[in-house]
Amino acid sequence: MTEETWHEARLIPTSGINGAEEQERRATSALLAVMTAVREFGRALTKPFGAPAGNVETYIEVPFVLGEKKLYPDGLIRVSRGQKSWTALVEVKTGSNELAPEQLENYLDIARGQGFDAVLTISNEIPAIARQHPTKVDKRKQHKVAMHHLSWTNVLTEAVMQKEFRGIADPDQAWILGELIRYLEHPRSGALEFDDMGENWVGTRNAIAAGTLRPTDKGVSEVANRFDALLRFASLRLGRQLGTEVTPVLSRKELADPSLRTQSLVDDLAEHGTLTGAIRIPDAVGELVVTADLRAGRVTCHVDVDAPREGRQTTRVNWLVRQLRNAPADLRIEAYVMHGRGAGAAELLTTVRDNPGVLVADPAKDLRSFRVAQSVPMGGKRGRGRASFIDSVLAAVDTFYGEVIQHLKAWSAAPPRLRPEPETVERREVPAALVSTALSSQDGAEAVPAMDAEGVPEHQDEDAVETPADRDDAPIVAAE
């Protein structure tokens, strides 16, 4: 037997997992144990829920009595610092198993009776909007106990970002967290990625193609929510690669009332056959907007870039083209002018490279912004794999960011420069012919002394006056 067939010993093995119950128990125990062992990771997961920065204790399958029933939540987390503590019951689902409302309501009752702070659920369900729980429960039971949710994609993303980007102080703890990451990335762990657009996807897609879809049709709102969940998954996935927090873009009203976002998607789907959302990437030149056109069968990603505020119009176009020197030639570039309505000139990047003036429809109008877009074929299958809708959207997002957005920088005006000081001009000899002898050309207003009959100024000693005969250059006169 060669060493290639040997299996390396792992802290959290994936072998021996038989059935969903064993899968959930192992995933729960592995996650909670690593939260205790790796302080930074435990803090990263519990801080958003209001837990203090303190010692983390975790337990699995803690028994509680509710009425005549004995219940066993999958886990319990307690974070303590001084006299302050935060305690949460944990319910875990793996694979395609979904959270049960009745079970969660029972745990809310237990938490309220025990004086606990929260119930935390972990599953592969990704809610359409962050901080929204995927399971509907009686809101009256949440007055004193909060209910939070983490998808396994959230957990994996947080683990990767903590280990690879934020850092772990202790090398042994970093290795332990790496073992958890390796386990969650294994298919047998039950921590699945987003892999299904739902049972109503095919029917909705076919109705759009036939032009018969109505906003009130069954399943349309579910498809809209699945699309938002896909954008959240794409954001987590991209953020895991970049080491930063990438989030979907939602307005304040949509965050406060998620039904507004759902209704907006449903209306666009029924009227135009499109699903649209945006992703915000820290320090990027703009938001990455994703539009899935189910009628045309295309996925389009675009970003809007402000044009420079100075220079000629073609110079502004060239500023953008230089940044796209390695971008695909089939990118579509649109130019928008100041105070203009609607889109301006549009052309493919390959044409703009040869002739920047094609985007300048009116040289008298200043360019305000550019839109850089890339369109790719859209898959139609509801699941994952070749020709699937999910994979086509994920590939479009990753490709557009990698080939376009990460190379773009916002324009900034050059700082003002100091004026150079004038150089000192050396005094030069002025030719005698150019010197005026007129009194009016003299610099001073000096008084002219009075002369006597001999031409000597009054009140001056004659011996002090130089006569022509005293000068060296006086002419020599021969004696008679």
Tens digit of each residue's pLDDT (9 = 90 or more) over 352-395: 999 999 998 888 888 999 999 999 999 999 888 888 999 999 99
The rounded distance, in Å, linking the Cα atoms of 351 and 332 is 10
Domain ranges of the chain: 3-189, 201-407
Does the pLDDT value for residue 462 go beyond 50?
A: no
Which positions ≥6 away from 76 have C-beta within 8 Å? 58, 59, 60, 62, 87, 88, 89, 90
The rounded distance, in Å, linking the Cα atoms of 396 and 319 is 25
Does the pLDDT value for residue 437 go beyond 80?
A: no
Mean pLDDT of 268-280: 94
Element housing 158 (H / E): helix 152-161
Which positions ≥6 away from 67 have C-beta within 8 Å? none
Question: Look-up: residue for tokens 């080491």?
Answer: 243
Buried/exposed code over 15-43 (b: 16+ C-beta within 10 A; e: otherwise)? eebeeeeebbbbbbbbbbbbbebbbbbbb
Lowest mean pLDDT among 149-158, 343-352, 459-468: 459-468
3-state helix, strand, coil in the chain (%, to 5): 40, 20, 40
- Sign of the alpha-carbon dihedral angle for 380, 385, 390, 391: negative
Residue 370 has phi, psi (to 5 degrees) of -125, 150
Please report the pLDDT score of residue 64 as a whole number: 94
Q: For the whole prediction, is pTM greater than 0.95?
A: no
Please report the pLDDT score of residue 415 as a whole number: 85
* Residue 381 and residue 389 in contact, taking contact as beta carbons nearer than 8 Å: yes
Instruction: Compute, in degrees rounded to 10, the torsion defined by CA atoms 280, 286, 288, 294.
Output: 130
Please report the pLDDT score of residue 3 as a whole number: 62
| Interstrand relation of 84-92 and 118-123 (parallel, antiparallel or unpaired) | parallel
Please report the pLDDT score of residue 375 as a whole number: 96
pLDDT digits (tens, 9 = 90+) for 246-260: 999 999 998 888 889
Which positions ≥6 away from 373 have C-beta within 8 Å? 300, 301, 302, 331, 332, 333, 334
435 — pLDDT class (breaks 50, 70, 90): low
416 — pLDDT class (breaks 50, 70, 90): confident
Please report the pLDDT score of residue 422 as a whole number: 75
Percent of the chain with pLDDT over 90: 64
Please report the pLDDT score of residue 8 as a whole number: 74
| Crossing angle of helices 39-46 and 152-161, rounded to 10° | 130
Please report the pLDDT score of residue 143 as a whole number: 86
Does the pLDDT value for residue 472 go beyond 60?
A: no
Lowest mean pLDDT among 14-23, 93-102, 324-333, 355-364: 14-23
